[in-house]
């Protein structure tokens, strides 16, 4: 199988999985004020090339609490500041005010912003939410997709699928050298980079860091397959591409 056919095959496979299996829908715009008094507008954040996760919860929902550690990890991974990725927790019912929701968040160690919909836009209604918990990812192009409960840990894969990659300064050859049993990653930049390798289901199989001007060989011997490789620094994604190992 030549590389062109491999890329086509991977595209078809990924199109049937995870984020890409959803019907493409535009995300309705809204503005909400969080429990700390900060007001945000969805489209303004998307226009800044940010990805926004919407987590619809109910303070009386047990399953909503069970996902908090995974969601905190997502929030921490991207700096806990909204510079690149937002995670907004939105209470399903209008009856709960910001103080009640903030108390719930403190009790359950929620680290990301929480919102009440009382006296504001009924965002769950806009997004046709009829149960909790539900997690959506909103891409900068204003499309949205539902993420299944068992896929929350694959957040980096979904974010990388949304964001535009910056390949103007560096070519793929600057980073990659293929071997029969893996791939050699080079860091031609002056800052540390993060390396994430995903399989075709979106499961992360390798996550590592690489110092400036260094290289590292990723051995995937006896695991011939197609992967998605993401290389990023603290500010942006430098490279994202499909790679074929051993095929």
3-state secondary structure of 216: strand
> What are the angstrom distances between the C-alpha of 230 and each of 2, 4, 28, 159, 178?
22, 20, 29, 11, 15
Q: Which residues contact 128 (CB under 8 A, 6 or more apart)?
A: none
Whether 188 has a pLDDT exceeding 80, the answer reads yes
Model pLDDT, residue 120: 76
Of 152, 147, 149, 172, whose CA–CA distance to 240 is shortest? Answer: 172
3-state secondary structure of 85: strand
117's enclosing H/E stretch is none
CA dihedral 83, 167, 54, 74 (to 10 degrees): -70
Whether 70 has a pLDDT exceeding 80, the answer reads yes
The rounded mean pLDDT for the chain is: 81
Residue 38 tokens read as 């900060």
Cα 146-138-34 angle, rounded to 5 deg: 105
Cα 160-161-167 angle, rounded to 5 deg: 65
Whether 3 has a pLDDT exceeding 60, the answer reads no
Higher-confidence residue of 188 and 106: namely: 106
Higher-confidence residue of 220 and 39: namely: 39
pLDDT in tens, 199-247: 766 677 888 899 999 988 887 766 667 777 888 887 777 777 777 665 5
What is the CATH number that goes with domain 165-245? 2.60.40.3080
Of 229, 232, 231, 233, whose CA–CA distance to 242 is shortest? Answer: 229
What CA–CA distance (Å, rounded) separates 233 from 211? 11
Domain with CATH 3.40.30.10 in the chain: 8-162
Whether 1 has a pLDDT exceeding 50, the answer reads no
Model pLDDT, residue 246: 57
pLDDT in tens, 122-176: 999 999 999 999 999 998 888 888 888 888 887 887 887 776 544 444 555 678 7
Model pLDDT, residue 53: 97
CATH architecture of structural domain 8-162: 3-Layer(aba) Sandwich (3.40)
Model pLDDT, residue 6: 36
Domain with CATH 2.60.40.3080 in the chain: 165-245
30 bridge partner residues: none
């Amino acid at each position: 199988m030549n590389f062109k056919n491999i890329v086509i095959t991977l595209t078809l496979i990924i199109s049937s999985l995870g984020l890409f299996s959803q019907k493409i829908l535009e995300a309705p715009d809204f503005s909400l004020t969080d429990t700390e008094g900060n007001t945000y507008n969805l489209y303004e954040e998307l226009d800044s090339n940010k990805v926004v996760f919407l987590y619809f919860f109910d303070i009386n929902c047990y399953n909503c609490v069970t996902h908090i550690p995974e969601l905190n990890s997502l929030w921490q991974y991207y700096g806990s500041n909204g510079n690149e990725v937002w995670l907004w927790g939105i209470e399903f019912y209008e009856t709960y005010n910001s103080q009640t929701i903030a108390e719930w968040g403190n009790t359950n160690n929620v680290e990301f912003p929480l919102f009440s919909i009382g006296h504001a836009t009924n965002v769950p209604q806009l997004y046709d939410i009829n149960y909790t918990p539900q997690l959506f990812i909103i891409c900068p192009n204003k499309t949205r997709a539902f993420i299944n409960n068992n896929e929350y840990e694959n957040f980096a894969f979904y974010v990388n699928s949304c964001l535009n990659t910056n390949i103007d300064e560096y070519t793929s050859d600057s980073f990659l050298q293929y071997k029969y049993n893996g791939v050699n990653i080079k860091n031609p930049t002056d800052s540390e980079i993060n390396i994430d390798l995903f399989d075709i289901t979106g499961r992360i199989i390798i996550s590592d860091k690489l110092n400036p001007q260094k290289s590292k060989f990723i051995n995937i011997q006896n695991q011939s397959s197609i992967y998605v490789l993401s290389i990023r620094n603290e500010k942006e994604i430098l490279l994202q591409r499909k790679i074929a190992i051993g095929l």
